[in-house]
Amino acid sequence: MTQPYRLLAALLLFALPTACGSDGGDETPEPSDPIHTVVVAADGSGDYTSVQEAFDALPVDNKPHIVRLRPGTYTEKVTLTSRHPYVTLIGDDAATCIITWDDYAGRDNGAGGTLGTSGSQTFLIEANDFTASHVTIANTYVNSQANTAANGKDTQAVSVQVKADRAAFYECRITGYQDTFYGRGTGRVYLRDCYVEGNVDFIFGSSTILLERCTLHMNRNNSVVTAPSTPADHNYGIVCMDCTITFPSSDEVDFDGSKFSYFHLGRGWYPTQEAKPRAVFLRCEEPASLKAEGWTTMSATSPAPTLFAEYRCTGEGATADRLAQRANGGRQLSDAEAAEYTVEKIFAKTSATEYAADWLPAATFTDPGQN
């Protein structure tokens, strides 16, 4: 389907009732009234000075709302609850509209316990049909010698956690260290023309996640791009399509003094015995620092993945001799298999038992307030 038709189809779909919630069964009523818009500005020139304040003030009416974010650094931990579907967050520019926090797994939660991975996020999305454009969401907890001594070398610090269905990100920057982007639950997530940065398992979880034309950058040595925990009844897990993978030069040094040398495309994550990890890279640019084996494991006893694959990837990390050395379940897709990897098929209702309707996100972002 060409991009104009994809955009038209997505707009038509937005106007129809949908029936899949964060767990695949909640019904979200049809939005029909004019779009309500509020402005968040750090300098006080808008309706609110924080994103959370704006979200909390939204009416609980199952209608679309636009939150416009003006330039500024918004140091806050943000949650969009399930009561507020159809929210579109639009920044002026991702370089200047920044939402940031610094929580991490193991931090005191103020209630006599500590945060876990799923509590460490900067931005939590629990509402269906969320869209973000031109914003930066960052977790600025830094893996360092001091933090390593206090918390362990690989402390989780999530930037974005999606626990909902039909979340889309366009031209956003999502940055962190370990576990940057968490697709939690069984919903569908789309990232287009985004920049995602992290190191260990920095795109992970059980959601169906498609990253299209994104830049995936690693900021530590021995990084792993993906860690899917795909449910058994899902046809797709984490899919990277036409993305560019970048890695620091070998002249640079990690915080522990080691030189940057290699990374892996993914490893399976098994939080439950039912997990059947799937990760696929199609037509991605892979640098020479990609280890020849391509894929790795959580441990020597980890089960084999359901599908770890590549298709027509390019770059020094995807030469014929490198591809011949792929290990730990990694293989190449056939042309027929690769034909099943389109936006329409990945997000179709038939791709998982929880989905009651197809979803076709637009190929490019269109400001709903400008229609």
DSSP codes of every residue in 143-162: --HHHHHHH-TT----SEEE
pLDDT at 155: 83
Question: How many CB atoms are located within 10 Å of the residue 112 CB?
Answer: 6
pLDDT at 370: 86
pLDDT at 363: 96
Q: Is 26 a catalytic residue?
A: no
| Catalytic-role residue among 47, 179, 251, 254 | 179
> Which token pair is 235?
């046809």
> How far apart (Å, rounded) are the C-alpha atoms in residues 191 and 316?
25
With tokens 């038209």, the residue in question is 8
> How far apart (Å, rounded) are the C-alpha atoms in residues 206 and 275?
8
> Which token pair is 262?
């290699």
Q: Name the residue type at position 36.
A: H
pLDDT along the chain (371 residues), means of 10: 44 39 51 82 98 98 97 99 98 98 92 94 98 98 63 79 99 96 98 96 98 96 96 98 94 79 96 96 98 96 95 98 98 99 99 96 94 68
Residues in the chain: 371
Distance of CA 205 to the CA centre of its chain: 9
| Catalytic-role residue among 103, 129, 165, 201 | 201
> How far apart (Å, rounded) are the C-alpha atoms in residues 251 and 115?
36
> Which token pair is 25?
């069964």
Residue/partner pairs of 216-219 with CB below 8 Å, 24 or more apart: 216/240, 216/243, 216/244, 216/245, 216/246, 217/245, 217/246, 217/247, 218/245, 218/246, 218/247, 218/248, 218/263, 219/177, 219/248
DSSP 100: E
Bridge partners of 198, per DSSP, are: 218
* CA distances, 358 to each of 188, 259, 280 (Å): 10, 46, 21
- CATH number listed for the domain at residues 3-37+123-131+160-366: 2.160.20.10
> How far apart (Å, rounded) are the C-alpha atoms in residues 5 and 105?
43
> Which token pair is 70?
């003006």
* CA distances, 234 to each of 134, 206, 237, 275, 338 (Å): 30, 9, 7, 10, 17
Bridge partners of 286, per DSSP, are: none
What's the start-to-end Cα distance of the chain, in Å? 23
The two beta strands, 136-139 and 97-101, are parallel
Contacting residues for 265 by C-beta, under 8 A, at least 6 apart: 224, 225, 226, 279, 281, 286, 290, 294, 295, 308, 310, 330
Q: Is 179 a catalytic residue?
A: yes
Burial class (CB in 10 A: 0-12, 13-18, 19+), 41: middle
- Helix and strand tally (H, E) in the chain? 6, 25
CB of 357 within 8 A of CB of 349? yes
